[in-house]
Structure 1
Amino acid sequence: MDKIGIFGGSFDPIHFGHINSMTTVREKMGLDRVLVVPTAESPLKVKTQGESPEARWAMIEAGLSHQSEEFQISDLEIKRGGTSYTVDTLRELQNSGSEDQFFLIIGLDQLQQFDQWKNFDEILNRVDLIVTSRPGLHFPKIARQFPREIAEWIEDFDGQVAMLKNGRSIYFVQLEDVEASSSEIRRKIRLGQPIHGMVPSEVASYIEEHQLYAALNKKIGDFEKFTHFSADILKDHGGILVRAFDLREINSPSEFGLVTSGTSVRHASSLAEKLIEETRKKYGVWPQGIEGLKEGRWVVVDYGSLLVHVFYDFVRQEYRLEDLWKEGKEIKL
C-alpha cells in the first residue's frame, strides 16, 4: 500500500512555490508519490483571466520534466469538467479499488476556509490532511485557533499534529518561503517583465513560445479608453469620487490607476462585481486577479495595465492611495 499525496490547484502557471511545496511534503512525510491534479474550474476562486486546461497541463508537464517519477499528473478533474470539487476526486480515486493511503495537501490559507468546501466532513473522513505554511500566516498553536467547524473534530493537538475524533489526522509542514505566485507571474508577463527565478525555464519557454497570458491586453487594446469605460461603470453605480490617473511616467505596477469608494463594504464589493460583469460583456475578458472582494474593505481588480481600487469609504480615507499617484497625471473624467 503506497502513501500518495494529492496536490490540487489551477497551476496557471505552475511555479517554484508549487514545486517546493510538493517536494518538501513528499520528503518530510515519506510519501511514495504525489498526484498533481489540475482543476477544471475552482469553486472558491473568483473567475479570472487564465489559460485553458490543455495549456495548464502542458506547463505542468514542462515544469515537472526534471522531477522524479514520484510526481504524477492526473487529468481526473479536467476530464470531469465543470466546477472541480475535491470530494468528487477523492470518491473517484478511492472507489476505483485502490488500497493506497491518500493524503490531501493544502495550504494554510485553504485550511482557514476549509469548512466552506463541498462536503468537507466527508473529506475529513476519507483522508488525512497535510497543511503547508504560507508567508504571513501562522500555524495554529491550540485547537481553538482552528476554524470552528474543524475544531469540533479535534481530539488532541500538540502543535504539529491534530488527532481527530474519527482517527484521522491533520499534519502541519513548514516550507521554506518561495516568493512566487501565479497571479504575480501573469502580471509580469503582461507587463513584459522577466519571470526568471519564479518558474522553471521549461515553463518560461513554453509560455513564450505559445504567447500565453497575452489575450487580455490584445482584447482591451486602448487602456486609456478602457480606464474611461471603467470609470463610467463605477460612477453609474454610485461610486464615490471616482478618480483616474495616467501612471506611465512614474514607477508603478500598472500604466493606469482608478480609485473609488462605496458607502459600505457591501457597496464596495458590488461596485467591483458590476465592473467585472460589464467588462466581461463588452470586452470578453475576466480580470487577471481580484483581491478583497469577499471582505469589501479594499477590493483590487487587476486588468494588467489598469488597476482598479474600490474602497469602503472610511478605509480609503485611511490609506489615501491618491497621494501615492500624485506624481502621475490625473485623467479628466
Structure 2
Amino acid sequence: MGKIGIYGSSFDPITNVHLWTASTIRHRCKLDKVIFLPCSSKRKDKQMQTEDFHRWNMLKMAIENNDTFLADDYEMKLQAWNISTYETLNYFKNKYKHDTIYFIMGADLLIDIGKEKWGNSDLLVKENKFIVMARDGINMLKAISESPILRNHDDGETFHLIDKGLAMEISSSYIREEFSLGGEPRYLLPESCYNYIREHSLYQ
C-alpha cells in the first residue's frame, strides 16, 4: 500500500516552485508518488493563456527525470460541468485502490472548503485526506476550528498541515507577465520549458 498526493493547478506554465513544492511535500509526508493534475481550460473560474497541449507538453518535460512524479490529464479531458474535486478524488481512489490518496492544496483553498464554496464540501472532507500548504497570513489551525465542516472531521489524520519553511511564492502569472513584457524569467522554470516557450512564442 502506497501513499499518493494529487497536486492540481493550471500549470500555465509549470514553475520551479511547483516542482520544489511537490518535492518538499513528497519528502516530508513520505509520499511514494505525486500526481500533477492540470485543470481543465473549460472551467469558468480559470482563464488559460495557452492551449491545453502546450501546458501538457511543458508539464511532461518538467517531470520527465523524476520517477516519483506523474502527470494525469483526467480533468483536462472533462467538460466544465463535470468537474468536481469530490468526483476527481473518487476517480483516483478507484484507480489506485490499494493506495492512500491525499489532495494537496494551499491554506486558502482550505478556507474556501470550510465555507462550503466547493461542491459536496461536507462529503469531500468526510471521505478524503488533505495535505495543506501554509500561506502567508493564514492561520490553518484557526481556519479548521472556525469551520463546522472542517473541525468535525478533524480526526488527526484528515489534515496534514505543512509549512514549507521558505516563502517561495513566484507564480505562473508572474512568469507570463515577464515573457509578455520582454523580461527574463529563465531561472524560474525548468530550462526545457523555458526553451519551449521561446520556441512556440508563448505568452507574448
Identity across the alignment (%): 28
Could you tell me how far 1:151 is from its partner in structure 2? 3.0
Equivalent position to 1:76, from 71, 74, 79: 74
Could you tell me how far 1:144 is from its partner in structure 2? 6.1
1:30-69 paired onto structure 2 within 5 Å? 30-41=30-41, 45=45, 47-66=46-65, 68-69=66-67
1:139 matched to 2:139? The reply is: yes
1:181 matched to 2:171? The reply is: yes
Q: Provide, for residues 81-114 of structure 1, a one-character-per-residue CA deviation record: whole Å limited to 9, x for no partner.
A: 3253211211222234622110110011111212
1:121 matched to 2:122? The reply is: yes
Structure 1 length-normalised TM = 0.56
Instruction: Call closer, same or farther: CA 1:59–1:146 in 2, change over 3 Å.
Output: farther
1:1-333 paired onto structure 2 within 5 Å? 1-41=1-41, 45=45, 47-66=46-65, 68-82=66-80, 84-96=83-95, 98-114=97-113, 115-134=116-135, 136-142=136-142, 145-154=145-154, 163=156, 168-175=157-164, 176-214=166-204
Contact in 2 for aligned 1:16/1:178 (Cα 8 Å): no
Aligned-partner SS, 2:12: coil
Q: Which amino acid aligns with 2:192?
A: E
Q: Which amino acid aligns with 2:56?
A: W
Separation (CA, whole Å) in 1 of partners of 2:70 and 2:170: 22
Could you tell me how far 1:44 is from its partner in structure 2? 7.4
Question: Structure 1 residues 95-104 or 204-213, which shifts more?
Answer: 95-104
Could you tell me how far 1:169 is from its partner in structure 2? 1.6
Separation (CA, whole Å) in 1 of partners of 2:42 and 2:28: 28
Separation (CA, whole Å) in 1 of partners of 2:96 and 2:180: 45
Unaligned runs of 5+ in 1: 156-162, 215-333
Q: Provide, for residues 219-246 of structure 1, a one-character-per-residue CA deviation record: whole Å limited to 9, x for no partner.
A: xxxxxxxxxxxxxxxxxxxxxxxxxxxx
Unaligned runs of 5+ in 2: none
Q: Which amino acid aligns with 2:47?
A: T
Separation (CA, whole Å) in 2 of partners of 1:100 and 1:144: 26
Q: Which amino acid aligns with 1:103?
A: Y
Q: Provide, for residues 161-192 of structure 1, a one-character-per-residue CA deviation record: whole Å limited to 9, x for no partner.
A: xx2xxxx4201111122241011111111111
Contact in 2 for aligned 1:37/1:77 (Cα 8 Å): yes
Separation (CA, whole Å) in 1 of partners of 2:141 and 2:90: 32
Give the length in aligned residue pairs: 200
Separation (CA, whole Å) in 2 of partners of 1:195 and 1:112: 31
Q: Give the alignment's Cα RMSD to 1 decimal.
A: 2.1
Contact in 2 for aligned 1:108/1:137 (Cα 8 Å): no
Instruction: Call closer, same or farther: CA 1:97–1:205 in 2, change over 3 Å.
Output: closer
Aligned-partner SS, 2:89: helix
Higher-helix-fraction structure? 2
Separation (CA, whole Å) in 1 of partners of 2:95 and 2:35: 15
Instruction: Call closer, same or farther: CA 1:44–1:118 in 2, change over 3 Å.
Output: farther
Contact in 1 for aligned 2:41/2:52 (Cα 8 Å): no
Structure 2 length-normalised TM = 0.88
Could you tell me how far 1:42 is from its partner in structure 2? 7.3
Contact in 1 for aligned 2:134/2:163 (Cα 8 Å): yes
Q: Which amino acid aligns with 1:153?
A: H
Separation (CA, whole Å) in 1 of partners of 2:199 and 2:76: 23
Instruction: Call closer, same or farther: CA 1:181–1:98 in 2, change over 3 Å.
Output: same
